[in-house]
Chain A
Amino acid sequence: MSLPIPVCAACGEAAFPELFVCPSCAGTTWRYEPVEHGMLEGSTVNARDGVHVGLVRVPLGPLVVARVEGAAQAGDEVALDADGLVPVARPI
């Protein structure tokens, strides 16, 4: 139950989604760090299909667009997971 976040192997800068060349140091090697939780900074629900979309700030820095499953609100700590490549946030 975690979301892999790309981190530059040279300088430690985190990015999401993955990049090729690090925006900070121009490094080209990336490793993936599993992140288990983050802070839900914003969310909304598509009226058409009821899909709950959120913005989650992960402790490494990046803001991730996630599918929110369950009743989480902006300001809540959420658990992070991945459905294939798609970030999923759930209430803790």
Chain B
Amino acid sequence: MSGAPEARIVGAAEVPYTRHPADDVSTESLLADAFVRVLADAGIERSAVDGLGVASFMLPPDRAIDLAWKIGVRARWLMDDGNGGVSGIQLLQHAARAIESGDASTIVLLSGDHFDEGGFRQMVDRYNLVTEKYLAKIPTGGPNPLFAMITRKQMDERGLTREDYGRLVVAQRRWASLNPGAVYRSPLTLQEYLDAPAVAEPLHRLDCVPVVSGADALVVSGSGDGVKIRALRSLYNYDGQRGDGLRTGIAEIADDLWRDAGVGPGDVDVISVYDDYPAMAIAQLDDLGLVPDGDIAAFLRHRVEGERLPVNTSGGQLSAGQAGCAGGMIGLVEAFTQLTGRAGDRQVEHARLAVVTGYGMVLYRYGGCANAVVLEGP
């Protein structure tokens, strides 16, 4: 028997997302708040923490080390990761390896962002050098037109209508109505979805995640009961931006992920896919193998709408907004909450296995990063 510890997620927390934070809220205050909350959730003392990982767009010029100082963590392991929608699973991957190799024993992972008006505009226009040079001066005004064109192509190729996307958005809002922590909780009808004002055809307002402030946190530890990592796979720059963006990197890691996990897509009880736009959430569900016959419209009508398949059961970013890098951890926090039986009114019965995906970092036309994890409850 090996003496190496097995990493488990032993705590999770979310600083409630909000459209209108108080004047004294900052990115570092949100991350510090998440830290205090997650220690309480895991029931551990600060002195037990010997590793810290941080994901944030707006924290610079500060980094994880500055935050470690300000929250009083003396760390043997430290990591910064600003890779947006994949940052949560990436931090989890490295934290688990660090624990299993003995570099640290208890690691806190924090992700979050606070944007003011000018800060968000600057982040969007300077997302990377290619955006700054080739997109901001069109001006695209951010990624909406890019994903509008990807959505249109998906509609044409897969025979989807706006109603089909609406079924996912309405279903997520129904989950959000059961989640006291969601930002948008009032039930939504398909007609209200369809009637929302256009942003960039075929995208309308309820297809686009609003910008919010908030933070998420996890504790990963080598001791104690918790949520186990059955499998974790990543793929970055999977196609050199030479594809059409409809097939994400998830498609190429799915077989290995399910084989490592020893289960298939039909065996999971809870599904969290990165939902920056409905089209990309749907692409990831398809890439994971959840639509075996390829009929996405029927899947959305029968499984998501009819059978209430547990997809993004917190309401997801579509019902909470996107708090920058926290969008890469929101799915992990919800999966942990479900697998530990603490999801309240939205609890999925007998939830034992969850799959969570990360997607994002638009290099030019679409996201260049993907990762996924299969988690098992205690």
Contact = CB atoms under 8 A, between A and B. Distances in A.
A2 interface: no
B134 A17 contact: yes
B141 A65 contact: no
Interface string B355-369: 000000000110000
A71 interface: no
A43 B144 CA distance: 12
Given A17-B130, A65-B365, A44 B145 contact: yes
Interface string B115-141: 000000000000000100111011111
A78 to B, nearest CB: 15
Given A47-B198, A85-B133, A66 B138 contact: yes
Contacts of B153: 42
B137 A86 contact: yes
Given A55-B365, A63-B365, A85 B152 contact: no
Instruction: Choose among B130, B140, B144, B200 the residue with the greatest number of A CB atoms under 10 Å from its CB.
Output: B200
Contacts of A46: 140-141, 144-145, 199-200
B307 to A, nearest CB: 33
A89 to B, nearest CB: 11
Interface string A40-74: 00111111110101110000001101110000000
B306 interface: no
Contacts of A62: 242
Contacts of A85: 133-134, 137
Nearest to B148: A44
A49 B140 CA distance: 10
A53 B146 CA distance: 8
Contacts of A23: 240, 242
A65 B140 contact: yes
A83 B134 CA distance: 10
Contact of B140 (A17, A53, A63): A53
Interface residues of A, number: 24
A24 B138 CA distance: 29
Instruction: Choose among A42, A44, A67, A83 the residue with the greatest number of B CB atoms under 10 Å from its CB.
Output: A44
A67 B149 CA distance: 13
Instruction: Choose among B130, B134, B141 the residue with the greatest number of A CB atoms under 10 Å from its CB.
Output: B134
Contact of A44 (B149, B364, B365): B149
Contact of B149 (A43, A47, A51, A84): A43
A42 B133 CA distance: 21
A45 B200 contact: yes
Nearest to B129: A17
B225 interface: no
Given A45-B201, A51-B141, A17 B364 contact: yes
Nearest to A49: B141
Contacts of B140: 46, 51, 53, 65
A8 to B, nearest CB: 13
Nearest to A62: B242
B152 A65 contact: no
Contacts of A48: 141, 199
Interface string B177-203: 000000000000000000001111111
Interface string B147-182: 011001100000000000000000000000000000
Contacts of B137: 83-86
Given A44-B201, A46-B144, A47-B197, A67 B138 contact: yes
Given A66-B138, A86-B137, A47 B199 contact: yes
Nearest to A87: B134
Contact of B138 (A42, A63, A65): A65
8 contacts: A17-B130, A23-B240, A42-B152, A43-B149, A44-B148, A44-B200, A45-B200, A67-B138
The 3 A-B residue pairs with the shortest CB-CB distance in the complex, in nearest-first order: A53-B145, A42-B149, A44-B148
Given A23-B242, A55-B365, 4 more contacts: A46-B145, A51-B139, A67-B138, A86-B138
